[in-house]
Chains A and B, each alone.
Chain A
Amino acid sequence: MNELTRQAARLWALAQPAVSAFVASITRDFQDRDDILQETAVAVLESFGRYDPSQPFKAWAMGVARNQARLHFRRKGRDRLVFSPAALDALSVAFADEDSGAERLVHLGECLSELDEKSRELCRLRYGRDMKPAGIAGLMETEPNTISKALQRIRERLRDCVAGKASAIGVPT
Chain B
Amino acid sequence: MSEAFDELVHRHLDGTLAEDGEAALARILETDPAAARAFARIGLIHDGLAQLIRQPMAVGQPLPSLNRKRLLSGRWGLAGFLAASVAVAALAIWWPGAGNLKASTTLERLIKASSRQRDRTYVISDLDPGSRAGDPRQPPIDGAVLHVRQPGSFVLIRSFPDGRKYVTGSDGDRNWSVPPEGKVRVSADPLRFRWPLPGHVHGIPFVNPTSDLADLKRDYHLELRGTGADGLSLLRADMKDSAGRGPRRVDLLFDPESGVIRRMVFDGLPRARGGPRSVAVELIGQGALQDSFFSHEAHHGPGRPVEEED
Cα A42 to Cα B77 with chains together (Å): 9
Task: Determine whether A30 belongs to the interface, using a CB cutoff of 8 Å to chain B.
Answer: yes
CB of A105 within 8 Å of the partner chain: yes
Shortest CB distance A166–B (Å)? 11
State the A residues within 8 Å of B (CB): 1, 5-6, 8-10, 12-13, 16-18, 20-22, 24-25, 28-31, 33-34, 37-38, 41-42, 45-46, 48, 82-84, 86-87, 90-91, 93-95, 97-98, 100, 102, 104-105, 108-109, 112-113, 120, 123-124, 126-135, 139, 144, 148, 151-152, 155-156, 158-159, 162-163
B interface, by DSSP: helix, strand, loop or mixed?
helix
B48 at the interface (CB under 8 A from A): yes
Q: Are B82 and A5 interface neighbours, CB within 8 A?
A: yes
Known: A41-B66, A158-B49. A1 touches B44 (CB 8 A): no
Interface membership of B282, Cβ < 8 A = yes
CB pair A94 B78 closer than 8 Å: no
By a CB distance below 8 angstroms, the chain B residues around A109 are 52, 229
Q: Give the docked Cα–Cα distance between A158 and B75 (Å).
A: 41
Q: Are A38 and B65 in contact (CB under 8 A)?
A: yes
Q: Are A98 and B47 in contact (CB under 8 A)?
A: no
Q: Is B123 in contact with chain A by the CB < 8 A criterion? A: yes
* Known contacts A17-B44, A84-B26, A84-B30, then 13 further A-B pairs from the complex at CB < 8 Å, ordered by chain A residue: A5-B76, A6-B82, A13-B83, A21-B43, A34-B58, A38-B63, A38-B65, A45-B76, A93-B33, A102-B90, A104-B48, A128-B230, A139-B123
Chain B neighbourhood of A82, CB < 8 A: 12, 22, 26
B49 and chain A: residue at smallest CB distance: A127
Q: Do residues A28 and B29 form an inter-chain contact, with CB atoms below 8 A?
A: no
Q: Does B214 contact A (CB under 8 A)?
A: no
Select which of B10, B26, B83, B229 is within 8 A of A9 by beta carbon.
Answer: B83
Interface residues of B in 201-219 (CB under 8 A from A): none
B64 contacts A38, CB within 8 Å? yes
Nearest 3 interchain pairs by C-beta = A109-B229, A21-B47, A94-B36
Known: A93-B33, A155-B45. A24 touches B50 (CB 8 A): yes
Report yes or no: B71 in contact with A42, Cβ–Cβ below 8 A: yes
Q: Is the CB of A30 within 8 A of B26?
A: no
Q: Find the residue from A1, A41, A83 having the highest chain B CB count within 10 A.
A: A41
* Contact code string B83-118 (vs A, CB < 8 Å = 1, else 0): 100110010010000000000000000000000000
Decide: A94 and B44 in contact? CB cutoff 8 A. no
A28 touches B13 (CB 8 A): yes
The complex places the Cα of A144 from the Cα of B16 at a distance, in Å, of 10
Is B51 on the interface with A (CB-CB < 8 A)?
yes
Supposing A87-B29, A133-B16, A159-B41 touch, asked if A31 and B76 sit within 8 A by C-beta, the answer is no
